[in-house]
């Protein structure tokens, strides 16, 4: 599976949409998993990189997804910085 060049940007968009919470089955249930999302995976076609086809998942559900008959996808671990730190320069 090839990731698009703007994958990082897509990941950020998904993270913003899901507020960094796992989106497991969000379409089918009202309840969300609610754990911190650490991965972004394709919900459907692997070559469809539309944000609507991407899901932010927690580590657990990303593993669950791989075990289902969805094609095992290569997960992209993302490191989301909580806040931008300014160098650690001391005045
Ligand atoms: Zn989850």
- Is 60 domain-assigned? yes
Instruction: Note down the domain range covering 14.
Output: 7-77
Give the total number of structural domains in the chain: 1
- Is 43 domain-assigned? yes
> What confidence score (pLDDT) does residue 79 get?
54
Task: Compute the distance from residue 1 Cα to the ligand 1 centre, in Å.
Answer: 23
Task: Compute the distance from residue 34 Cα to the ligand 1 centre, in Å.
Answer: 6
* Backbone torsions φ then ψ of 88, nearest 5 degrees: 75, 30
- Is 25 domain-assigned? yes
> What confidence score (pLDDT) does residue 14 get?
92
Q: Give the full edge-to-edge strand order of the sheet including 76-77.
A: 54-57, 39-42, 76-77
- Is 2 domain-assigned? no
Task: Compute the distance from residue 71 Cα to the ligand 1 centre, in Å.
Answer: 18
- Is 38 domain-assigned? yes
pLDDT along the chain (91 residues), means of 10: 82 91 70 85 86 90 71 49 54 55
- Is 59 domain-assigned? yes
> What confidence score (pLDDT) does residue 2 get?
72
- Is 35 domain-assigned? yes
Task: Compute the distance from residue 60 Cα to the ligand 1 centre, in Å.
Answer: 6
- Is 87 domain-assigned? no
């Amino acid at each position: 599976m090839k990731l698009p060049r703007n994958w990082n940007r897509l990941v950020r968009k998904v993270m913003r949409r899901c507020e960094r919470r796992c989106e497991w089955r969000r379409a089918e249930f009202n309840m969300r998993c609610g754990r911190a999302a650490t991965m972004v995976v394709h919900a459907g076609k692997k070559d469809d990189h539309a944000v609507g086809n991407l899901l932010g998942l927690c580590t657990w559900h990303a593993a669950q997804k791989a075990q289902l008959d969805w094609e095992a996808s290569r997960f992209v671990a993302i490191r989301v910085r909580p806040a931008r730190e300014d160098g650690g320069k001391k005045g």
